[in-house]
Structure 1
Amino acid sequence: MPLPACRTPLSELSPPIALGALDGRYRGAVAPLVDHLSEAALNRARLHVEVEWLIHLVTQQVVPGAGELSADEQAALRALVTDFDADAIGELRTIEAETVHDVKAIEYYLRRRLADILDSSDQAARVDSLGELVHFACTSEDINNTSYALMVQGAIEQVWLPRATAMVDQLSGMAQELAEVPLLAHTHGQPATPTTMGKELAVLAWRMTRQLDRVSDTTYLGKVNGATGTYGAHVVAVPEADWQEVSRTFVEHLGLTWNPLTTQIESHDWQAELYADVARFNRILHNLCTDVWTYISMGYFAQVRGQGTVGSSTMPHKVNPIRFENAEANLEVSNALLDVLASTLVTSRLQRDLTDSSMQRNIGTALGHGLLAIDNVSRGLAGLDAVPETMAKDLDGNWEVLAEPIQSVMRALAARGVEGMTNPYERLKELTRGRRIGQEELVEFVRGLGLPEAEEARLVELTPASYVGIAPELLAHLDRS
């Protein structure tokens, strides 16, 4: 039987129901991104760029005789950005319904506000004069590229990086706590040379830290050079101005790096580089999720906190690793979007097409799913307790992993000319391959090798739990001070 229709379609209910999970179920975890990457945030950034361009043209006297703006008037213009609110959003929506052009709507909105701000006996003349400098010689992309650069910069530096860094710091702290807890390693899913749980978590923390450094070093580019990047309208309108210098100083005033050579669009290469770095961070984080999930399934971690949660609707005993599973899914969604952003944004047909315009509206969704994953991992890690007893039991059940150090000692002795140490690998393979051996069998084997007394004593004392090399010392590499 098909699902019956609602008497009132859900799409008609107020307040509007979110179509996507980020604006619905998971809104709390990603809400800070709304201030940076929503449609309203885009319009606010555009307004900021338009205001600063107007002030830049006036204060630098780029267009001779165009008039001045007092300090109070400049402050009032900038307050349009800091006081941007629901009324401004609504007015812009109304204007855009008439213009059917989002950037033109910003221009008209600013012209209206400029008329309100200018206060002098010759107000009308000043409005006519200064009003013509709003969006002067600009193409929409001059406003959009700088706006997106500022938005992405804010989202990364004020939201994503602090959250990601805090999660990696949390993982690093956990690694330090477990630095000396021995762990049976598994390579290809098989028992292998022991390590420590702390060292294995540190590997992942180290890898993600490198990506955080790359993201922190991102260069955010911007351009203001007209319809095809030639300053054509600029030079014809005001030939005496040094337009490259005007453009460079303006872009740098915004806190961006000037891109001197573009088509109509800023080439977006910096965005592709950034999204590749964030995606790589996500993939390492995904690796953490699958490893921790596996450790939980092996009993190396217990999920003992948050006892009020329901693990299964039918099996009361279960505490499912849902935080890590949720993170995996959201990381995969995030990376799918980041990958398509990175591959699409670097290409534009000839001097301009609009594929980037639609594509960039997905930046918030891409970072949002990644941010949600970070939140889930952080919550998941906070709910874990290590179970050293289980790890110790697995170590004690796999004495065959000591075949490696025994044959390595024999090789070193043979290299020094000690007799009777030939074919160590083959002898250990015959003893250990395809079967489990215990401490007693291994000690008996060692005592029958004819090793020098010191080496024999050292190997007899060795256990799987003590065979961790310098794993605890390696965590010093996490210290970034």
Structure 2
Amino acid sequence: MESRSIFLNISPLDHRYSLSEAKVFDDLSSFISEQAAVISCAKAETALIKAHLKMRGKLDSETEKKLDTVAWTIDPARVYAEEEKTKHNIRALVNVLKTLVPGETAPLVHLGATSVDILDTALSMRIRDCVQQVILPVLRDLEAHLCDIAERDAEVPQTGRTHGQHAVPITFGFAIAEYVSRLGKSIIEIERLSKNLRGKLAGPVGAYNGTSMLVKDPEELERLYLGYVGLEPSEHSTQLVEPEYLLRLLLECNVAFGILANLADDLRNLQRSEIGEVFEYFSADQVGSSTMPQKRNPWNSEHVKSLWKAFAPRVMTFFMDQISEHQRDLTNSASQRFVADYLTGFTLAAERMKSIVAGLNADAEGMMRNLNAAGGKVKGGILAEPAYLLLAESGVSDAHEVIRKITLDAEHSGISFFEALQKREDVFERIRAQAEKLGIKDAASFFEHPERYRGLAAEKARSLAAKYRKIAEQDR
């Protein structure tokens, strides 16, 4: 076929990203390119020949080897040229294969199959292989980097935030452990669902009409056929494999995509000038702005979020592909082709996020500065919660209101929460005594050091990192 410059391609996946993410793009192309689609269909067709020969007791290793070679070396350009004549993609493939396979096996090409017996089986094969050999390794590498940060920064104090406001202290390792846990579970589910993709050899309505004319046990022929490509049969088929096997996998990929976008948002916001708690790697030659030389934009995190915006909405198409009239219509013929685009966008986002977290650094001084200044003038004011809890535990029924008024006094007076608390000697003494009962060291100075009030943040960060690191290592 005629080749052309990649810069004449329409999709940015095939020019911008094929250059900037060349390695991962090439890896994906091995499984979900158009060439891969033709090869996978050829592999399905040759698997059918093997199944027929096996049922007849005539399959030998030499023939099997020849059939495998034919499938792997088929020329997509030749198939496409034949399709110009037939106006049918699978019939074109069949015509080409009949000229390539050993002569005595040519009558067995496509025997008893309908087009979708080949197409749906081939789709499951290449999506399974793409997920297991490209996408999951990228996600597991990303997960490993997140585990590294969770462990490394398990003790680094940080201000927790809810509704965009300072809440109570945590550690940066704990903040990252959230994504260790969320992404880790999604990885497990993506792997499970990828192993459950199905194929079929059940004919044009799924009732084995054609193959029942060829063999006594059509389901055994189907099992043999799918066994050669590592799949199990769909429990029930029309002309199509039940769409939910693929749908559930794509939906879980979209769940993981959302996790990446959420992480990207968090990291981008923590890099704001007024927050300045983390920073991405920025090379010596990198430019942040065409007009402002000082800029160091968090563009990689923004890039991940942008890819999510472009591809996550396609989940609606996946749902719409569930529906096919009666035993089959062709309303998924175009839309299903874009599954490859979606998986590419998802993988590119994961690869970019991997590079972000691999070079991500926590600004411990910046985090401590924000922690000490949490609440503006109310220095250490994020410790109002433990003050309220200790006061209530000491027997004061309106402890929340008491502490709320102390925070207002600190704000209006321009003093720290600790100083305002000390002004209420009766309240402070109750709190100090209750803290000592709990075994808190240096109870009197506890409210001067917000980093001490972190609950189980460090422990959770370490335990989650250890858990998902072990799972990832077992799955490699």
Match for residue 70 of structure 2 among 80, 83, 93: 80
Q: How far apart are the structure 1 equivalents of 2:132 and 2:420?
A: 56
- 8 Å CA contact retained: 1:446, 1:456: no
Amino acid at match of 2:41: R
1:32 alignment counterpart = 27
Match for residue 132 of structure 1 among 107, 129, 140: 107
Structure 1 residue 162: deviation in Å?
A: 0.6
Tell me the alpha carbon deviations over residues 265-321 of structure 1, each in whole angstroms, 9 at most, x when there is no partner: 112111110111000111011000000001111100134541210000111111110
Q: Does residue 1:234 correspond to 2:224, yes or no?
A: no
- 8 Å CA contact retained: 2:410, 2:416: no
Structure-2 change in CA distance of 1:37 and 1:432 (3 Å): same
2:294 alignment counterpart = 317
When the two structures are superposed, what TM-score results if normalisation uses the length of structure 2? Answer: 0.88
Structure 1 residue 356: deviation in Å?
A: 2.0
Matches within 5 A, 1:422-441: 422-433=397-408, 436=411, 437-438=415-416, 440-441=418-419
1:59 alignment counterpart = 54
Match for residue 467 of structure 1 among 442, 453, 456: 453
Secondary structure of the structure 2 residue equivalent to 1:362: helix
Structure 1 residue 433: deviation in Å?
A: 4.5
1:478 alignment counterpart = 465
Q: Does residue 1:189 correspond to 2:168, yes or no?
A: no
- 8 Å CA contact retained: 2:6, 2:15: no
Secondary structure of the structure 1 residue equivalent to 2:77: helix
2:388 alignment counterpart = 407
1:378 alignment counterpart = 354
1:368 alignment counterpart = 344
- 8 Å CA contact retained: 1:272, 1:341: no
Structure 1 residue 349: deviation in Å?
A: 0.7
Matches within 5 A, 1:76-475: 76-84=66-74, 88-114=75-101, 117-118=102-103, 126=104, 130-218=105-193, 219-235=196-212, 237-238=213-214, 241-297=216-272, 298-303=275-280, 305-337=282-314, 339-398=315-374, 399-414=380-395, 421-433=396-408, 436=411, 437-438=415-416, 440-445=418-423, 447-449=425-427, 450-451=429-430, 454-455=433-434, 458=440, 459-462=443-446, 463-475=449-461
Structure 1 residue 380: deviation in Å?
A: 2.1
CA-based RMSD: 2.1
- 8 Å CA contact retained: 2:387, 2:431: no
Q: How far apart are the structure 2 equivalents of 1:59 and 1:257?
A: 17
Structure with higher Rg: it is: 1
Gap regions ≥5 residues in structure 1: 1-10, 63-67, 119-125, 415-420
Structure-2 change in CA distance of 1:142 and 1:446 (3 Å): farther
Secondary structure of the structure 1 residue equivalent to 2:236: coil
Structure-2 change in CA distance of 1:15 and 1:202 (3 Å): closer
Tell me the alpha carbon deviations over residues 254-273 of structure 1, each in whole angstroms, 9 at most, x when there is no partner: 21121131211112111110
Secondary structure of the structure 1 residue equivalent to 2:124: helix
- 8 Å CA contact retained: 2:394, 2:434: no
Q: How far apart are the structure 2 equivalents of 1:479 and 1:16?
A: 45
- 8 Å CA contact retained: 1:215, 1:277: yes
When the two structures are superposed, what TM-score results if normalisation uses the length of structure 1? Answer: 0.87
Secondary structure of the structure 2 residue equivalent to 1:230: coil
Structure 1 residue 464: deviation in Å?
A: 1.1
- Size of the aligned set, in residue pairs, is 442
Gap regions ≥5 residues in structure 2: 375-379, 471-476
Amino acid at match of 1:52: A
Tell me the alpha carbon deviations over residues 209-242 of structure 1, each in whole angstroms, 9 at most, x when there is no partner: 111110010111111100101111222x23x511
